A and B are shown apart, each in its own frame.
Chain A
Amino acid sequence: MGQEAEKEERLKAFKGYQVTEALCREGGANTNWKFLHCLPRKEHEVNDEVSSV
């Protein structure tokens, strides 16, 4: 699979998978939830308002 097709397929498959404050609020995470990422973190995976442990 070419790079563009792979990128497109992944973006579609992972739609809604970005970790955000809203996702965790709506999903009912513990109000004091923490975020952990092994770095480098990317905007697609988690937006910038979320800070790490």
Chain B
Amino acid sequence: MTLADLSSSQINNIVSHAHHLKHISLPWLSPQQRGVKTPKLRMPSQSLFSKSIALLFSKRSTRTRLSAETAAILLGGKALFLGRDDIQLGVNESARDTARVIGGMCQGVFARVGDHSEIEVSPTHLVCVPCPNTERITQELAEYSPVPVLNALSSLWHPTQVLADLLTLHEHASMFSDLGESTKNHNPKRLPQLSPLRPLTVAYVGDSANVLHDMLVTYPRLGHKLRIASPDDPKYRAPNPVWDRVLELGCDASIWWGTDPREAVRGADLVVTDTWYFASPRSH
């Protein structure tokens, strides 16, 4: 459910494989950008051939849905989008039953069944409703599903965002390197290798939310230091289930956590933040 479940070498392998697949896939996605000379298109591995992946989403999404459906097509499979109005999950049917039914027909599940808060619209105004249940639903799906369940976002964790961030950082590794552009692979005939990333000091300024939680259990194991500032109130700090994983992995030694954003950004190579204020996403 989180990158805490994977070893650092497994995480590096995923990022490296993602880099490889992205390189092969991009020309398929932008045919209109081709030059006069058509480049040779390479077929990505059809590892999802004749397989269908259930996209179990309890809320709307632009990037996650688009990228998941596109990825399934590129790998030769089919994504079945199951939104909150499409199936019974959590309404009439338990996560356990849902997992078994889906697992009987699909070969994988990509589940996005919660957020830090679900934003619901009432007739008069927007209200933020904390959803402690969503973490339980994701865990139950994983526990009872006969097929792999990937966490596309839950209330506590957001592993895919941190994998995507790591890929972005590796792709821009030269920005952080004294060697500049020379670290890039210039041979167009060979698949570019993932550029190594030097150890970074990463500052996070904001609320303790799912993206940060996966950063906490991942970045220190990859050699990066974390400096975090969040307001002086326990509700803006990492909850116990998250901090337990941080301690278990020994990541706490590379984490500084205070309340002053200025102190947090000291020596930072990278500054990260995430939503801490729920501006009205739609007008009433």
Contacts and interface: CB of A to CB of B under 8 A. Distances in A.
B49 interface: no
Interface in A1-45: 2-4, 6-7, 10-11, 13-14, 16-17, 19, 23-24, 26-30, 32-39, 42, 44-45
Nearest to A44: B277
B229 A17 contact: yes
Nearest to B211: A38
B261 A45 contact: no
B203 interface: yes
A30 B63 CA distance: 31
With a 10 A CB-CB cut-off, give which of A24, A32, A35 has the most chain B CB atoms: A24
Nearest to A52: B168
Contacts of A39: 63
A48 B203 CA distance: 19
B157 to A, nearest CB: 13
B82 to A, nearest CB: 24
A27 B264 contact: yes
Contact of B266 (A27, A34, A36, A38): A27
Contacts of A44: 276-277, 279
Interface string B262-284: 11111111111111111100000
A32 B269 contact: yes
Interface string B92-129: 00000000000000000000000000000000011110
Contact of A29 (B176, B211, B266): B266
Interface residues of B, number: 42
Given A3-B127, A23-B265, A33-B265, A17 B271 contact: no
Given A3-B127, A13-B233, A38-B165, A33 B272 contact: no
Given A14-B231, A27-B266, A38 B169 contact: no
Nearest to B203: A29
A27 B267 CA distance: 8
B250 to A, nearest CB: 25
Nearest to B231: A13
B221 interface: no
A27 B265 contact: yes
Given A17-B229, A19-B205, A37-B272, A42 B262 contact: no
Interface string B16-30: 000000000000000
B236 interface: yes
The 3 nearest A-B residue pairs measured at CB: A27-B262, A27-B265, A13-B231
Interface of B: 63, 125-128, 161, 164-165, 168-169, 172, 175-176, 201, 203, 205-207, 211, 229, 231, 233, 236, 261-279
Given A13-B233, A33-B269, 8 more contacts: A3-B126, A13-B231, A14-B206, A19-B205, A28-B267, A30-B267, A36-B168, A36-B270
14 contacts: A3-B126, A4-B125, A14-B231, A24-B268, A27-B264, A29-B266, A30-B201, A32-B269, A34-B172, A35-B272, A36-B168, A38-B274, A44-B279, A53-B169
